[in-house]
Amino acid sequence: MKMTKFSHSCVRFEKDGRVLVLDPGSFSETDRALAGADAVLVTHEHPDHLDRAPVLAAMSASPDLVLHAPASLAGALRGEAPELAERIVDAAPDAEFELAGFSVRSFGGQHALIHPLVPLVANLGYLIEGSVYHPGDSFIVPYGLRARILLLPIHAPWSKVEEVLDFLIACGADTAYPIHDALLNGNGRGVVEKHLERIGGMYGTEYVALQPGDEVRI
């Protein structure tokens, strides 16, 4: 399986000629990520994780492209694009299913708290092929999760470095790759990644920096 990182939280998986894309958002290279895609999987409704207009346009242009998202988001998208409703599917929490030839396990929950005055939204984490975990915008470690590879949100309005490190340690993955990084400049990224490399290594997780367009064989 090949994984390609795009900007921010968007990743693309390819296996046996099939393509699954997670969180093609407004900070990502959505058109490139969706080229030839069979399915889109979305963790939550925020625009940096789902750029609605180009994704719905891609679905209109490709009659086989399907999208799975938390029920509240999927329902809103069906209202926006009723002609696509049959291909916009509720992703249930704590479920196992196959999507575009990939095994997916979902973990239910809510978005991390930004501030009490900012409404919380549903957030699902996804384990792909039993090995790669994308948590969306949450640092909750699902009970029983043992992911070999962690896609780690390294910077967000809802987090601080201490919490990023605690999540990295708690997940206990062999390898961690960065996501949710579009708001960092070069200096800030260097500060965060230095901690992740050192402390991750202390606990047995290798942190590997990726740039948009970098590919990993899993």
Domain boundaries of the chain, sorted by first residue = 2-217
Contact 124, 137 (CB under 8 A): no
The 3-state DSSP class for residue 164 equals: helix
CA distance between the termini of the chain: 5
Q: Which amino acid is at 114?
A: I
The pLDDT value recorded for residue 145 is: 87
pLDDT in single tens digits along all 218 residues of the chain: 999 999 999 999 999 999 999 999 999 999 999 999 999 999 999 999 999 999 999 999 999 999 999 999 999 999 999 999 999 999 999 999 999 999 999 998 899 999 999 999 999 999 999 999 999 999 999 988 889 999 999 999 999 999 999 999 999 999 999 999 999 998 989 999 999 999 999 999 999 999 999 999 99
Per-residue buried b or exposed e for 105-122, using 16+ beta carbons within 10 Å of the residue's own CB: bbbbbbbbeeeeeeeeeb
Distance, in Å, from the CA atom of 30 to the CA atom of 26, rounded to the nearest integer, reads 7
The pLDDT value recorded for residue 173 is: 97
Distances (CA, A) of 118 to 25, 111, 114, 194: 20, 11, 6, 31
Taking alpha carbons only, the member of 158, 163, 150 closest to residue 195 is 163
Taking alpha carbons only, the member of 140, 156, 187 closest to residue 8 is 156
Q: Which CATH number fits domain 2-217: 3.40.50.720, 3.60.15.10, 1.25.40.850, 3.40.50.2300?
A: 3.60.15.10
The pLDDT value recorded for residue 70 is: 98
The pLDDT value recorded for residue 144 is: 83
pLDDT tens digit sequence for 88-139: 999 999 999 999 999 999 998 899 999 999 999 999 999 999 999 999 999 9
Cα–Cα–Cα angle for 130, 148, 218, rounded to 5 degrees: 75
The pLDDT value recorded for residue 146 is: 84
Neighbours of 18 (CB within 10 A): 16
Contact 98, 78 (CB under 8 A): no
Question: Which pTM was predicted?
Answer: 0.96
The pLDDT value recorded for residue 148 is: 96
SS (H, E, C) 178-192: EECCCCCCHHHHHHH
Task: List phi, psi (to 5°) of 111.
Answer: -60, 145
| Token pair in block for residue 12 | 């693309």
The 3-state DSSP class for residue 36 equals: coil
| Token pair in block for residue 82 | 């009723």
